[in-house]
């Protein structure tokens, strides 16, 4: 459970910090809306991870297990959509691809979860 909290806190801290780079004119949703949605989903995501229904993949997105219900998948897909928006905004600002940003984020999540740190 501690591992999930570490990963979750990392995601929220990163989302909050990184959403500052999302240009309002280009973003379909405002930074505040995106952050609010991600924060609102946090308890659901923690529960899904604790039950082993979803996990982090190497692209910085969530992946469903075979036991995921349609409702579980809807939560996961909503989170992945918002993460993609964050990754795209960061990529645009830094001249990278969203895939590269997501992969870097996944690596940081995995490293933090493995060490138990609270970056």
Whole-angstrom Cα distance, residue 18 to residue 64? 25
Whole-angstrom Cα distance, residue 4 to residue 62? 13
pLDDT digits (tens, 9 = 90+) for 72-105: 999 999 999 999 999 998 999 999 999 999 999 9
Residues linked to residue 62 through DSSP beta bridges, in sequence order: 56
pLDDT digits (tens, 9 = 90+) for 8-24: 655 555 665 555 544 44
Whole-angstrom Cα distance, residue 107 to residue 58? 7
Contact yes or no for 12/42 (Cβ under 8 A): yes
Contact yes or no for 81/71 (Cβ under 8 A): no
């Amino acid at each position: 459970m501690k591992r999930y909290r570490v990963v979750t806190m990392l995601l929220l801290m990163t989302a909050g910090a990184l959403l500052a780079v999302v240009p309002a004119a280009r973003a379909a949703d405002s930074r505040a809306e995106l952050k609010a949605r991600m924060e609102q989903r946090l308890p659901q995501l923690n529960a899904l991870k604790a039950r082993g229904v979803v996990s982090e993949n190497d692209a910085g997105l969530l992946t469903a297990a075979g036991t995921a219900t349609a409702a579980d998948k809807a939560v996961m897909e909503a989170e992945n959509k918002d993460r993609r928006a964050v990754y795209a905004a960061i990529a645009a600002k830094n001249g990278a691809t969203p895939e590269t940003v997501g992969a870097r984020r996944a690596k940081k999540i995995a490293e933090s979860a493995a060490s138990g740190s609270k970056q």
